[in-house]
Structure 1
Amino acid sequence: MKEPVMELTETDIRYEFPVLRSYPDMVYLDSGATTQKPESVLRRIDRYYRLENANVHRGIHALGEAATEAYEGSRDRVFKFINASRREEIVFTGGTTDAINLVASGFRESLLKPGKKILLSGMEHHANLVPWQLAAQRSGAELDFIPVSDDGSLELEDLEARLNNKVAIVALTQVSNVLGTVNPIDRIIDTAHSMGIPVLIDAAQSISRIPVDVQQLKADFLVFSGHKVYGPTGTGVLYGREEWLDRLPPYRGGGDMIDTVDLHTSTWNTLPYKFEAGTPNISGAAGLGAALEWLDRRDVRRVGEHEELLTEILRSRLEELSWIKMLPAPEGARTGLVSFTIDGIHHYDAAQVLDKKGFALRSGHHCAQPLHRRFGLEGSLRASFGAYNRESEIDRLLDALHDTRRFLS
């Protein structure tokens, strides 16, 4: 039986999202893949193309100055949002994957060689695994991994033994996109820094729900995507401590990243422009700034607490069903999502039936094949929350799961 259409009012946070207004009976549970976009973000992107369309940094005319202000104003917004020490430490990228590739490429060219190691974990998204595989293959360095325990946490007992003068960099996710595990990043950074080892943090899943202060964390690099923080696709951020960004070579060549050019040699622009070759995604950067402004108004901490509550409610409800198997995540250190399987039913089949019932869930390996194999799986269903989800949607999901099992059994 089809669910009744829910009336949305202007006091409902869902009202701020055009997609959710257009499909008011849809339950969107795929924010771990991409968040929906509030009206204010869409308006900001539209405003750029309608009223400010020009290239940045190159024109002294009014439109050029407006475009530059939109672009650099968003850099200022990111700088304040993560509490960087300098705005020059904020590099705009095409997303988390692009940002990690930038750092991996820089390390490959200047700091990796045979005998060196890259320390990752067994729960990394492919975006924080494959670039390092390529860097290792091309430099002769080796990969090492912090294992994942049976409860979904990282096995850190031998962390100090793994960290030695052979390790060139540690690169870890702050929140697992499959388990929802919140890793003790501060402890890992402190241990690595005590041995002079830099750390890159993948904050793609954490930036929208956990307040991030890069100075407090003492992170050397931190990356995230705009589309997972209520902003547009094709945008992202690399935060890098100034001394590290100065050490890395340029990632791409072209306009805006140069200081001087002759036919055989060039010199590079200052930070952050050394890493921003060509015409950037100006409208995307403006939209990202608007998204962070929207999230600031909502308060990241409150959003995170809301999603953590929904996570615990869903886990407690699924625990009552013997035919549901949840992937583990340590109690007290998990947030934002729940991954699970249904006995005897393929996750793709379940997702298709749920879609017909108005539920948007992710199915598959979620770009984390090694982590699924760690638990003897090729894939799972994933329900991931956003600021717009409500407890009543969990009740509806449980009913739909019962119906799906009956239909597919």
Structure 2
Amino acid sequence: MKVLKGQDILALGFMTFALFVGAGNIIFPPIVGLQAGPQVWMAALGFLVTAVGLPVVTVIALAKVGGAMDALSSPIGKVAGGILAAVCYLAVGPLFATPRTATVSFEVGLAPLTGDSPLALFLYSLVYFLVVFWVSLYPGRLLDTVGRFLAPLKIFALAVLGIAAFALPAGDIGVAEPAYVAAPFSQGFINGYLTMDTLGALVFGIVIVNAIRSRGVDSPQLITRYAIIAGLIAGLGLALVYICLFRLGAGSHAIAAGASNGAVVLHAYVQHTFGSLGSGFLAVLISLACLVTAVGLTCACAEYFSKILPLSYKALVILLAGFSLLVSNLGLTKLILFSIPVLTAIYPPCIVLVALSFCKDFWHSQSRIVAPVMLVSLLFGIIDACKGAGLADWLPTRLAHLPLSEQGLAWLVPAVITLAGAVICDRLLGKRREALA
């Protein structure tokens, strides 16, 4: 039986970590740290739940079913599962996450050196997605190109930044913004959505499993074990990166007060700490981090859509890279603005799907439980999304002021109530079937 060597398992863990650490992972923690002020660690705790805990749990859930998202979503039916998968792949692929990797790496790393002009962004994104296209053509080599080469470089750069955040703070912690004074944990929790890591985990599951299989491992038990180990290594790495970036942001009040996003905070800190060399260092760090994630997302999306569309993997890589290139030229601010409502709507049913996948032995029929709870979480997630999109005035007063609505968690209470009702129905229907038998 073929098994992975210790160095291969470590490379797999590094690859998984590198796939996750992209644009959102680097720009959101600093702004949370800056705005949370003295409440930074409570906000960090909420952030770590959605940006580390959920992705790791999702990788484990996918590993248990072979890595494919359609196997995980089977309780809600083939059509609904297919729609959910397509939405997730598109959201973390060419619509939001992949283009965002290019715009973030440009605006944080290169724009301070070249100027923030549309032409500079276009030329940078063109070269960027040509590299993404070239590396994505060979998904079987990801463990070598990413796990053994790009990931260690990325980890080294992040380690330098992380050590500096604690050893060379830019200043004292500032005053917390009102939202973080009122509810720091839930603010961090919602900001963790924006990293898209849970959706990314749903997409990367098959990439991780295929990387294991590329080494000749075909035992389902071993594949599951290695995928879980890789997820845990990645989770530990993510937590360390976030803690460092929270500290960086919290101590940057004196140099980045009033910053509109984490990219501004990062640039201000690096310029303050490392001087002119800092801009070059940051450009390399951000480009490496974002490039690896873009490759992983492009491979995953091409793998998925090649199975359901009459297009080859290579043709899809070309289409995905080309479309991402076009979307990336909208700019970072517009991309974040568009993505927030969509993520707020689709995250709740994805969280429900992953959480309930671990409880399937507690009821007679998965579909009776999973389908209604996911539907309710989606409906109330859409209500939160409407509020996030500035459409709260269009909603009835009762819907606009649901329990936990101010924290962006209006879906949670209805989902728990639906779960309780679904479990009772499942017990009753299950007993009836047994009685008739």
TM-score by length of 2: 0.29
- Write 1 or 2 for the structure with the bigger share of helix: 2
TM-score by length of 1: 0.30
- Write 1 or 2 for the structure with the bigger share of strand: 1
Which structure has more relative contact order (CA 8 Å, sep 6+)? It is: 2
